[in-house]
Every structure is written in C-alpha cells, then in structure tokens.
C-alpha cells in the first residue's frame, strides 16, 4: 500500500511538471539571446518583438544594427520558408529556414550589415511576435572580406590616378573619389572589428599624404577683372580665402590660375518704385596650362535705392562665384 501511494505521488509530480512545461512554452532565447544552438563565440544575435512578425523582425534588425552603430532605414525582401504549429497553451511556434542568402544585405543610412539571417520566430499567447536574427561570424567575415577587397582595389586605383595625374587638380578630383570609397571601407572595418575583434588600418592617412604632396606642388595666381572696384576687391579676397582653407598657397605668379570676370550693370525701369542692378560673372581655373574648370552666371537684384540694388548685386556675384569654386574644391 505504501509503495502504491509512493508511486501515485511520484506520478502526480511528473504529470504536474509536464503540465507546467506545456504551459510555459516560451523559448529561452527570448530572455537569453545566446544558447547552445547559437553560441556567442560563433554568432552575433539580436531579438526583437512586435505586434506583427514584420515588426518583430524590424526591431530585431534594429537591435543588431545598434551593435554596429548604424541606423536601419530599410531591409531587403526576405525569401522565407516557415511552418507553424500550435502548442497546448494556444501559442504558435514557427520553424524558420535561413531567410536571407549569403550575400544578403541590411541597408542603413551609413552602412550595410552583410549575411544577416532569421533563426527563430515565435508568437506568444498574447499574440506578440518574437524574432531572433543571427550573424555567423566566420561566414560574415568572408562576405565582408570579399566586399572590402573590391573597395580596396577601387581605392588604390583612384590613389594611383591621383599620383600619376598630369594635372594636380585632376589628381585632387581622383582623391576626392578615393575618400568616398575609403569612408565605405572604414564603415565595414568598424563592423569587422566587432565581429572578429581584430583591428584594421584605414586608407584615409594614405589619401591625406598624397593630397599634401599634390597641394605642395601648386601655387595659385588670382586674376580678377571687374568694372566695380568693390566687387573686384571682395571677389579676390573671397577666392583667396577658399584657396587658403584648402591649404593652397596664393602668389602673384603661380603654376595655376583662377581668372574671374565680373560686370555690375545698373538697370533703369521706368515707373518702378525699386532700383535694379544686374551682375554677370565667370570663373576659369587652369593648372599647368590646362583648363580644368569653368563657371558663369548672371542675376538681377532689386533694392529701394540704386546703392542698395548695387550692393545686393555685388554680394550675389561674390557669393555665387565662391560657392561654385568651393564645390569644385571639395
């Protein structure tokens, strides 16, 4: 009798434990991101929740993106395959295949996350969806390595163009393009450091060294012709300021020249309560005898007096010319 009672009690404990397990079917990865299936030394993981499966996915990706200090703007179309089953507690459990291909990309406003996959999806009894995304460290490093290799080849090619350019301004243009590529490489390197724990060298110092070498070989002469003395003085000073900010020396005779022409013309309009004045201006930049940049524009200004209209025309002429030159110098 005692044995039978003991057996009954043991059986009841087992059944109660089984019921509790069935009721508490929440996956452990919701509270503990990493597990034996996705160990932290081999994967980067993130979990997100939301009112819909897509919301949960977006939140999981946003959480992953935060690890790389990027902000998610959009994600690629997912190729998903999943099956769903309802447990005894009424919750839907999903079984997902890897829904992103090896070369899949999570786009962001400054960078990309390569090789991200959905590993788990779950809907709890309150109809809240949960998604866990994962990044295989070894697989991701191969993807990043391949992408960076292409960018490095492009960057090196542009740096070589700059070094061998027969015109220094053309060389600076090539370096500007190289800077854009180097910025992308640095973005990928920052993510690779998080994935692998290793450090990588930026191309930016090399670009700056080449830039200093090119700039040191350049001297600019500024030649301004204008029918308005104030406009001529302001325009020459403004052009000199742009060159100075770019680290380019200015001299009376240089191997590069900026020629500026400006004409300020009062306009008489009978019956108008306003005074008018127009300007026409042009810029021509040449380096070592070769023209590399030209710009011209004209505009009309109005004022309550002839002097006010003239001042506005002069200000507009100088501002527009400097803006055009600055954009080219960047």
For the stretch 204-219, pLDDT in tens is 999 999 988 888 888 8
What per-residue confidence (pLDDT) applies to 104?
43
Query: Do 75 and 132 sit in the same domain of this protein?
Result: yes
Where is pLDDT greater, at 220 or 181?
181
Mean pLDDT on 162-166: 90
Q: What is the per-residue pLDDT across 247-275, written as a single tens digit (0 to 9) for each? A: 777 877 777 888 999 999 999 888 888 89
Residue 16 pLDDT exceeds 60? no
Q: What is the pLDDT of residue 152?
A: 97
12 inside domain: no
**What is the C-alpha end-to-end distance of the chain, expressed in Å?**
94
Tell me the H-state helices in 102-167.
137-164
- The answer to whether position 63 is within a domain reads yes
Is the pLDDT confidence value at 330 over 50?
A: yes
Q: Looking at the structure, tell me whether residues 255 and 323 fall in a common domain.
A: yes
Q: How confident is the model at residue 148 (pLDDT cuts 50, 70, 90)?
A: very high
d(C-alpha 229, C-alpha 222), whole Å: 16
Q: If pLDDT is split at 50, 70 and 90, which confidence band does 6 have? A: low
> Is residue 268 located within the same domain as residue 177?
no
Q: What pLDDT is attached to residue 285?
A: 87
Based on the structure, what is the number of domains in the chain?
3
Decide if pLDDT at 98 tops 60. Answer: no
Is the per-residue pLDDT at 232 higher than 60?
Answer: yes
In a domain, 15, yes or no: no
User: Which residue, of 109, 137, 165, is where some domain finishes?
Assistant: 137
HSE-up (13 A, CA, CB side) for residue 195: 25
Predicted local distance difference test score (pLDDT) of residue 250:
81
Domain that holds residue 117: 28-137
Instruction: Identify the pLDDT of residue 35.
Output: 92
What pLDDT score does 291 carry? 83
Mean pLDDT rounded to a whole number for the chain: 80
Read off the pLDDT of each residue in 316-322 and give the average, rounded to a whole number. 89
Q: Residue range 48-68: average pLDDT?
A: 88
Residue length, the chain? 330
Question: What would the two tokens of residue 17 be?
Answer: 């434990």
Alpha helices (H) in 120-228, listed in sequence order: 137-164, 168-196, 204-216
Looking from the CA of 255 toward its CB, the CA atoms found within 13 Å total: 12
Q: Which of 117, 328, 139, 129 is nearest to 242 (CA)?
A: 328
CA distance linking residue 217 with residue 169, whole number of Å: 11
Contacts of 116 (CB under 8 A, 6+ apart): 61, 64, 100, 104, 106, 133, 134, 135
**SS3 state at 77:** coil
pLDDT (average), residues 117-134: 92
Least-confidence region, from 6-20, 114-128, 255-269, 309-323: 6-20
Residues 34 and 78 both lie in one domain? yes
Residues 246 and 172 in one domain: no
Beta strands in the chain (DSSP E): 43-50, 72-75, 82-86, 92-96, 105-108, 112-114, 117-123, 129-136, 220-226, 256-267, 275-287, 290-303
C-beta contacts of 76-82 below 8 A and 24+ residues apart: 76/100, 76/104, 76/105, 76/106, 76/107, 78/118, 80/118, 82/121
């Amino acid at each position: 009798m005692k044995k039978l009672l003991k057996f009954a009690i043991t059986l009841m404990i087992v059944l109660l434990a089984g019921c509790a397990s069935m009721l508490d079917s929440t996956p452990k990865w919701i509270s503990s991101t990493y597990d034996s299936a996705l160990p932290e030394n081999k994967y980067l993981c993130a979990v997100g929740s939301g009112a819909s499966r897509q919301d949960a996915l977006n939140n999981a990706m946003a959480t992953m993106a935060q690890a790389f200090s990027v902000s998610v703007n959009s994600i690629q179309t997912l190729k998903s395959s999943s099956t769903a089953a309802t447990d005894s507690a009424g919750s839907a459990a999903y079984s997902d295949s890897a829904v992103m291909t090896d070369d899949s990309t999570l786009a962001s406003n400054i960078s990309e996350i390569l090789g991200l996959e959905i590993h788990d999806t779950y809907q709890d009894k309150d109809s809240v969806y949960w998604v866990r995304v994962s990044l295989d460290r070894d697989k991701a490093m191969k993807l990043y390595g391949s992408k960076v290799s292409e960018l490095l080849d492009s960057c090196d090619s542009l740096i070589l163009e700059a070094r061998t350019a027969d015109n220094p301004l053309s060389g600076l243009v090539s370096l500007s393009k190289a800077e854009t590529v180097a910025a992308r490489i640095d973005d990928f390197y920052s993510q690779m450091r998080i994935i692998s724990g290793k450090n990588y060298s930026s191309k930016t110092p090399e670009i700056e060294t080449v830039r200093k070498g090119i700039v040191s070989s350049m001297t600019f002469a500024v030649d301004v012709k204008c029918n308005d003395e104030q406009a001529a003085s302001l325009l020459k000073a403004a052009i000199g300021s742009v060159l100075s900010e770019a680290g380019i020396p200015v001299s009376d005779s240089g191997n590069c020249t900026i020629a500026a022409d400006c004409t300020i013309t009062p306009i008489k309009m009978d019956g108008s309560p306003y005074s008018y004045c127009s300007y026409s201006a042009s810029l021509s930049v040449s380096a070592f005898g070769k023209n590399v940049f030209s710009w011209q524009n004209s505009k009309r200004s109005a004022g309550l007096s002839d002097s006010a209209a003239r001042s506005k025309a002069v200000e507009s002429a100088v501002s527009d010319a400097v803006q055009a030159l600055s954009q080219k110098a960047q």
